[in-house]
Amino acid sequence: MNWDETGPDTDERLDERLVQADADGEDTAVEAALRPKDLDEFVGQEKVREQLDLVLKAARARGATADHVLLSGAPGLGKTTLSMIIAAEMGAPIRITSGPAIQHAGDLAAILSSLQEGEVLFLDEIHRMSRPAEEMLYMAMEDFRVDVIVGKGPGATAIPLELPPFTLVGATTRAGLLPPPLRDRFGFTGHMEFYAPTELERVVHRSARLLDVEIDADGAAEIAGRSRGTPRIANRLLRRVRDYAQVKADGRIDRPVAAAALGVYEVDARGLDRLDRAVLGALLKLFGGGPVGLSTLAVAVGEERETVEEVAEPFLVREGLLARTPRGRVATPAAWAHLGLVPPQQGGKGQQGLFGA
């Protein structure tokens, strides 16, 4: 394989704080070891898998290079893994790079012109590519051609360069941010969904087998239930539970061991971590459940606005614990219940918010 290492991407950094990542980079190594190698091993995502299977089989039958593929979905759902599977299924080498790594069109030209025929180019975080690079990519995707600009100023000339046919696999956490001309140039778009608990249980069992960890069905269910629908988080929690089981128990994971371990790491029964609970707690206890502005809420928990908005809120919103309204952030009744608090207007026992309703 051909690696263009760009280090862990931003999306991965974002959810890293869920469970402190191992300082020595064990995380990245283990993650790579746990990646399914082919479509059959890839758990869940039935739709995307079925569609992709057809795209790849048809291309193979034609003896052609597969169409460009766009994968969209939240961090940790398997986009990088799928890109590698696409290459493996096509028997093609893969080159890995990312939008932020390509700042100049020249960077992209260098990569494109060194591709082999049929190679898969994985472009992670494709929505963060620079505009000039993006425009070069349009032509490369459509005509397998780039114009290389030689020289500067009035003397600059564009030299057309033919490219071998290749398959671009783009990944993005925000398909909505892609300009339509770029989106339209992908022959196939796969939307990755959050995983059902039973699917995450299969991920946990599979990873436990690979890590040579003994786990029973209830232990796997406990971990799956706290993994926010995300395989990367399931794998990470499994490793932390394994540590706990080795030190505090006999190495085997069952439900009590999993629950106790995740308690130590402050991941609660619903998968909320410390930051999530801090945000929710502030919203309920200081602001009577809102509405309160994002900046005020961020100051109250001592975090950056962006951290609250991009790291904590998406999950809280998805869980139906918090709503974003034009007037500010508002807690739902489920939020009060989850933190075991009584909304002020009902019981009067809950703390009256400073800016309360």
Ligand X SMILES: Nc1ncnc2c1ncn2[C@@H]1O[C@H](COP(=O)(O)OP(=O)(O)O)[C@@H](O)[C@H]1O
Pick between residue 10 and residue 332 the one whose CB is nearest to ligand X. Answer: 10
Verify binding: residue 80, Mg ion, rule CB under 5 A: yes
Pick between residue 212 and residue 250 the one whose CB is nearest to ligand X. Answer: 212
- The least CB distance from residue 337 to ligand X, in Å, is 31
Per partner kind, with CB cut-offs from 5 to 8 A, the member of Mg ion, ligand X, none near residue 203 is ligand X
As a whole number of angstroms, the distance between CA 318 and CA 321 comes to 8
Q: Which of 69, 78, 225, 284 binds ligand X (CB under 6 A)?
A: 78
Copy the structure tokens of residue 173. 């956490």
Cβ–Cβ < 8 Å for 27, 236 = yes
Please tell me the count of residues contacting ligand X according to CB under 6 A: 20
- Build a one-symbol-per-residue string for 23-62: x at contacts with Mg ion by CB under 5 A, - elsewhere: ----------------------------------------
As a whole number of angstroms, the distance between CA 167 and CA 169 comes to 6
- The least CB distance from residue 96 to ligand X, in Å, is 11
As a whole number of angstroms, the distance between CA 350 and CA 336 comes to 9
Verify binding: residue 229, ligand X, rule CB under 6 A: no
Pick between residue 72 and residue 80 the one whose CB is nearest to Mg ion. Answer: 80
Cβ–Cβ < 8 Å for 144, 117 = no
Per partner kind, with CB cut-offs from 5 to 8 A, the member of ligand X, Mg ion, none near residue 288 is none
Strand partners, 123: 97, 170
Residues whose CB falls within 8 Å of the CB of residue 50, separated by 6 or more in sequence, listed in order? none
Return the SS3 of 120.
strand
Task: List, by residue number, the catalytic residues.
Answer: 79-80, 124, 173, 232
Please name the amino acid found at residue 130: S
Verify binding: residue 79, ligand X, rule CB under 6 A: yes
Pick between residue 45 and residue 80 the one whose CB is nearest to Mg ion. Answer: 80
Helix residue ranges, H only, the chain: 10-14, 26-34, 46-62, 79-90, 105-113, 131-143, 180-183, 197-211, 217-225, 231-248, 255-264, 274-285, 294-301, 305-306, 313-318, 333-338, 344-347
- The least CB distance from residue 68 to Mg ion, in Å, is 18
- The least CB distance from residue 80 to Mg ion, in Å, is 3
Per partner kind, with CB cut-offs from 5 to 8 A, the member of Mg ion, ligand X, none near residue 170 is none
Binding region for ligand X (CB under 6 A): 11, 31, 34-36, 42-45, 75-81, 203, 231-232, 235
Binding region for Mg ion (CB under 5 A): 80
